[in-house]
Amino acid sequence: MVALLFDLDGTLIDTVYAHVLAWQVAFEEAGLNINGWRIHRRIGMSGGLFTRAAVRELGHEIEPERVQQMKRRHGELVDQFLPRRCPLPGAVELLQTLREAKVTFGIATSGTRPEINRSLDVLGIGSDVVVVDRNEVARAKPEPDLFLACQQRLGVRAEECCVVGDAVWDLLAARRAGMMSVGLLSGGYGEEELYRAGALRVYRDAEEFRHALYEIGIRL
């Protein structure tokens, strides 16, 4: 394995539950009753894709303007609910370890700038790191576009990459991109869900993964 491609929310930063509740309330304010657990299991898709999928489950159709409006409201609520962004355990140290060992890595997220800037800041991810966000590709996860764009910018081959993500959508997108993947429990999925989606290995969080890098062939 030559390069690691990281998801952001739920993998490096502890924002999943704020995102879920913000969507739940944004939907409810729009008169749509979508349950927390269904939102949780959709998180990691792009906001637009996710909103349409969630609303479709209700048997509704929804206008693009309303999707945009809910996305805006979701962003406001996340900031209101969780003013501070906290790195997940071991996330900062893991990236530092990779830097010191000169292991190539990048970020590929369904989030968008400027919303993700504070997360990147607290993780110490500067302009020297390749970060591909939702706006840079045509289609978000579970399509492989984000990981393929990240891999191309890193200048490595797909088969040399390993995706690190907390959501089933990361792992499905990795397989479709021809990449290996590992799953982290820190986004609140169950272990078997991640294995079934194709994870080579599942770890608790970035901290546990940091001590197990050799298991996927990364020698420090």
Query: Rounded CA gap, 136 and 147, in Å?
Result: 11
Q: Is 17 in the site for a second copy (CB under 8 A)?
A: yes
Using the rule CB under 8 A, give the single segment among 27-35, 115-123, 149-157, 173-181 that binds a second copy: 27-35
Exactly one of 1, 4, 12, 21 binds a second copy (CB under 8 A); that residue is: 21
Judge whether 117 and 8 are in contact, CB under 8 Å.
no
Exactly one of 188, 200, 212, 216 binds a second copy (CB under 8 A); that residue is: 188
Judge whether 111 and 134 are in contact, CB under 8 Å.
yes
- Report DSSP letters for 31-63, one per residue: T----HHHHHTTBTB-HHHHHHHHHHHTT----
Q: Is 12 in the site for a second copy (CB under 8 A)?
A: no
Q: Is 37 in the site for a second copy (CB under 8 A)?
A: yes
Dihedral over Cα of 119, 207, 43, 133: its sign: positive
Residues 70-109 that bind a second copy (CB under 8 A): 81-82, 84, 86, 88-89
Exactly one of 1, 16, 116, 131 binds a second copy (CB under 8 A); that residue is: 16
Between CA 8 and CA 18, with CA 12 as vertex, the angle to 5 degrees is 75
Exactly one of 76, 159, 192, 215 binds a second copy (CB under 8 A); that residue is: 192
Using the rule CB under 8 A, give the single segment among 60-68, 143-151, 156-164, 188-196 that binds a second copy: 188-196
- Residues β-bridged to residue 201: 182
Cβ count within 10 A of residue 211: 12
Contacting residues toward a second copy, per CB under 8 A: 10, 14, 16-18, 20-21, 24-25, 28, 33, 35-37, 39-41, 81-82, 84, 86, 88-89, 185-193, 205
